[in-house]
Amino acid sequence: EAPVEEAPAEEAPAEEAPAEEAPAEEAPAEQAPAEKAPAEEATAEEKTD
Q: Which residues of 1-37 are buried (b: 16+ CB within 10 A; e: fewer)?
A: eeeeeeeeeeeeeeeeeeeeeeeeeeeeeeeeeeeee
Report the pLDDT value the prediction gives residue 33, as an integer from 0 to 100: 56
Report the pLDDT value the prediction gives residue 34, as an integer from 0 to 100: 54
The count of structural domains within the chain is 1
Q: Under DSSP, is residue 7 helix (H, G, I), strand (E, B) or coil?
A: helix
Total-model pTM? 0.13
Q: What is the DSSP string of 15-46?
A: THHHHHHHHHHHHHHHHHHHHHHHHHHHHHHH
6 — pLDDT class (breaks 50, 70, 90): low
Report the pLDDT value the prediction gives residue 36, as an integer from 0 to 100: 55
Report the pLDDT value the prediction gives residue 23, as an integer from 0 to 100: 55
Rounded-to-integer distance, Cα 43 and Cα 49, Å: 10
Residue 7: domain span: 2-48
User: 7-47: per-residue pLDDT in tens?
Assistant: 555 555 545 555 555 555 555 555 555 555 565 666 667 76
